[in-house]
Structure 1
Amino acid sequence: MMSYAEAIDYLFTRLPMFSRLGAAAYKKDLTNTILLCEALGNPQQHFKSIHIAGTNGKGSTSHMLAAILQTGGYKTGLYTSPHLKDFRERIKVNGDMCSEEFVVRFTERIQPLIESIEPSFFEITVAMAFCWFAEQQVDIAVIETGLGGRLDSTNIIRPELSIITNIGWDHMNMLGNTLPEIAGEKAGIIKKGIPVVIGEWLPETKPVFEQKYATVNEELAAKPTLVFASEERWVSDWTYEHHMISITIADKHTDNRQHFQLDLPGIYQHKNLITVLAAAHELEKQGWHCALPVIQEALKQVKKKTGLHGRWELIHQHPSVILDVGHNVDGIKAIREQLEHCNYQHLHIIIGMVKDKDIDAVLALLPKHASYHFTQAQIPRALDAMSLQQQAAAFELNGPVYTDVNTALQEVRTKAASDDLILVCGSVFLVGEVG
């Protein structure tokens, strides 16, 4: 029998892995996932689910919804990607990672099929998650897409609800070069007879969602709900203190106000919250226990209930060290907005990126007044730190190069004043390597 370390090594080295390789590992159809799940007895048909796509915010939205369902008393599966430290972070039930024994058992069981159909790493992890949720007999599982939606391996489920958080610029080499094209890929999770919640939308993306919804539900006399969350609620007030954000949400139709406290301190979470509230409302209409007191209790302890990390996460004080997985244009805009509400003497930014991002667009957004420290994650897809340093110089962002993030962090912490702020960002993989 394999050990857990051997099973993980086999999965990471044998299978094409998007996080390491990039586009070369992206499979453009669902054939392998369907074959894998059929061989496993179609586990995805043995539990209820919620499906979430979007450029940004889908991870936080997934974790908030999972926390709400757990607080409501449901045994809740949560599938997200990528992981930061431990592969098993991708597959959780009520906040607990799947067991090492299960990963080994699954890998050994599926090995002959891996050899014959050569699936990607993501395809295998999706099948693994579905098997764990079926085996654990979850009441419901929150399933986050990896890339896009239409051809994403997760898109073989028939959920209770489909959610698209927002559309922005990311993975253009695979999803399309215009926002309507990217929206079209995300809209691929909209299915016949299934209610849909759209979070943020733009004038050029809204018709894409409406058209897809109309097409798939054309034959139905009784149409499912299509909700544009920002047309239902708005943020009337918010405050940020003690690394918690307090938000007052107003109903656009009645002007009723409801107050929420989030343990996810990113100011950008107010956009995700509006989406989450629309989703919880839809679920409650279906009979799920998602009443206001449940939501309020859950949102105060999302990190504790689900183990979410890397979203404006404070890991050290004096100086403050913050980790944020923001890595594309919208993610960096959110970080900039957050920084405007922080008090610090001097800002140090430790940054590393991967090659397939729009690096110049990100560099153009970064604050000029910070000190920069360039590094790279230890994966083939990482942009080498020297190249990043050279590209950044064109935007008047200058600083030294470090071989890895922990060396950079150690040195910056030594030099920083106690009321400085050190931010690590630019790549999920870089944040994951902070030890």
Structure 2
Amino acid sequence: MRFTSSKSVQEYLESIPKFQSRGSSAAKFDLSRFRNFCDVIGNPHKEFDSIHVGGTNGKGSTCNILASVLQEGGYKVGVYTSPHIITFNERFRVNDDVISDEDLLVFFNTYVDNIEEYTLTYFEISTAIAFWWFARSKVDVACIEVGLGGRLDATNIIDPMVSVITSISLDHTDILGDSITDITREKAGIIKEGRPVIIGDLPKKARHEIVKIAEQKECPLFTIDDLNPKCLNPGRYGLAVNDTIMDISSNLISPIQAKNIAIVWKICSIIKEKYIITEDYFTSGLRRVNAGFGRFERLIDGQQWYFDGGHNQEAVKALKKSVNTVGNIENATLVLSLMRDKIRKEVMTEFLEFKNIYYYPLSLERAATFDDIKQWLPKAIPFPASDENRKELMQDDFDSELVIFSGSFYFYETVRDWVSTFALNQ
């Protein structure tokens, strides 16, 4: 098989089952095939330093913040995050550049037979590309986001400088287990013998479990408790550092980012013997960072319309705090789209505070239908499916209102298309 265009690569990738549409049936939790494939391509993940970032929420934001700070310090930094929101290429970044279509063609034309031989999953292919491209680009260090869980995640073949667990809450319970303790054990699978571990603000049971695992593996364990991270107001954060409050300005506006910023400061303090990040580099990196698509992102100038991918209880609570920093949730409209496996009582209850709730089902096998949602959110009404009705709603009812588009990250591209159409008609 030979690939001649980015379209042919995309068609090949689309032929492989993805977690996005199929859920757990698209996954193969066995690292031996992936390790063997990486042996064949020269184990590129051993050619650069790495920071491994896991957790339920905050992984992608933490990777992006860390990368911005390291880049500000003059280092060449790789960032691997998933899922992609618009294009496959955006999963892979070196400094400010995503992988080119030409590099993807080189990878697939070189290794497609090996991909077939080892029957790699979509995520394993994606992870292999990240390792290969970062080595090829000669990065100094890479920020690697865990895909799902940790213990059996394809990213877990790396030997990182630091392992990070940002947060833990109930999510992917069909795969990781239906208790905080079970989920913690899976996510703690990224903890390596003797390597430093950083944890964010975790539930008591999760913290207890990680303390026990870190002791067993003789790992130095660090928390962010001493930094007392605060969101002072939207775009302004405070950390308690050296008996003073470090005042940080940023494009990030969600209060939850305070904890992610604290985690990044702690990472920098641990790796400082090799990667020197001054306070000036740190604050400069925060000024230029973008948390990533769909992380309480303002969608259009002149409107209070935001997208935030919240689909578990912890994420929705964080979303509500963010909404209350820019307005009042009791006056806000929610446009929601969820996967069926994300419907849990504790999650759905969090959405009830919104004044108005619309629901839009995506065309995916995993997507929840309106009827699935209605039984949990009685005041929900269908979001218009037709272009004309949707345009009328957005122009007449949403204009100058606080509107939150949320739920699955897979909803982002659809929302972006709607907002772009709205902008063109103004």
**TM-score by structure 2 length?**
0.92
Is 1:421 aligned to 2:402, yes or no? Answer: yes
CA distance in 2, matches of 1:260, 1:352: 34
Aligned position for 2:238:
248
SS of the equivalent of 1:73 reads: coil
Distance 2:389 2:202 in 1: 38
Distance change in 2, residues 1:389/1:107 (3 Å): farther
Structural mapping, 1:29-428, within 5 Å:
29-217=30-218, 225-230=220-225, 232-235=226-229, 238-240=232-234, 245-251=235-241, 255-284=243-272, 286-303=273-290, 308-343=292-327, 346-393=331-378, 397-403=379-385, 410-416=391-397, 418-428=399-409
Is the contact between residue 43 and residue 131 of structure 1 (CA under 8 Å) also seen in structure 2?
yes
Deviation of 1:408 (Å): 7.7
Give the corresponding residue for 2:420: none
Q: What is the CA distance between 1:225 and its match in structure 2?
A: 2.8
Return the alpha-carbon distance in structure 1 between the equivalents of residues 81 and 389 of structure 2: 28
Partner residue of 1:3?
A: 5
Question: How far apart are residue 336 of structure 1 and its match?
Answer: 1.1
Q: Distance in 1 between matches of 2:245 and 2:357?
A: 42
For 2:293 and 2:388, locate their aligned partners in 1 and report how far apart those are by CA, in whole Å: 21
CA distance in 2, matches of 1:170, 1:407: 36
Q: Does 1:433 align with 2:418?
A: no
- As a proportion of its length, which structure holds more helix? 2
Q: 2-side partners of 1:301 and 1:377: how far apart? A: 33
Deviations 1:306-331 (A, max 9, x none): x8211111112443211111111111
4+ residue runs of structure 1 moved beyond 4 angstroms? 406-409
SS in 2 for 1:154: helix
- Distance across 1 between alignment mates of 2:12 and 2:230: 51
SS at match of 2:143: strand
Deviations 1:129-165 (A, max 9, x none): 1000010000110000000111110000011111110
Q: CA deviation at 1:357?
A: 1.0
CA contact (8 A) 1:323 1:425 kept: yes
Partners of 1:347 and 1:420 within 8 A in 2: yes
Please give the alpha-carbon distance, in whole angstroms, between the structure 2 residues aligned to 1:299 and 1:189.
27
Deviations 1:62-119 (A, max 9, x none): 1000101111101100000001101011011002110101112212222212322222
Contact 1:237 1:248 in 2 (8 A): yes
Deviation digits for residues 299-353 of structure 1, max 9, x if unmatched? 01112xxx82111111124432111111111111111112222236942211110
- Maintained 8 Å contact 1:63/1:78: yes
* SS of residue in 2 equivalent to 1:341: helix
How far is 1:237 from its partner?
6.0
Gap runs ≥5 in structure 2? 418-426
Task: Give the letter aligned to residue 247 of structure 1.
Answer: Y
Q: CA deviation at 1:187?
A: 0.7
Q: Secondary structure at the match of 2:157?
A: coil
Q: Which runs of 5+ in 1 are unaligned?
A: 218-223
**Which amino acid in the other structure matches residue 313 of structure 1?**
E
CA–CA distance in structure 1, aligned partners of residues 82 and 231 of structure 2: 32
* Counterpart Cα distance in 1 of 2:352 and 2:33: 44
SS of structure 2 residue aligned to 1:356: helix
The CA RMSD measured in Å over matched residues stands at 2.0
Aligned partners of 2:337 and 2:361 also within 8 Å: yes
| Contact persistence 2:58–2:166 (CA under 8 A) | yes
Shift of 1:197: 0.8
- Once the 2 structures are TM-superposed, how far is the Cα of residue 401 of structure 1 from its aligned partner? 3.9
Preserved contact between residue 68 and residue 294 of structure 1 (Cα < 8 Å):
yes
> Retained in 1: the 8 A contact 2:94–2:134?
yes
Deviation at 1:12, TM superposition (A): 1.9
CA gap of 1:408–1:156, structure 2 versus 1, over 3 A, is farther
Structure 1 partner of 2:422 = none
| 1:229 maps to amino acid | I
Greater mean deviation of Cα atoms: 309-318 or 294-303: 309-318
Change over 3 Å in CA distance of 1:409–1:51 after alignment to 2:
farther
AA aligned opposite 1:4: S
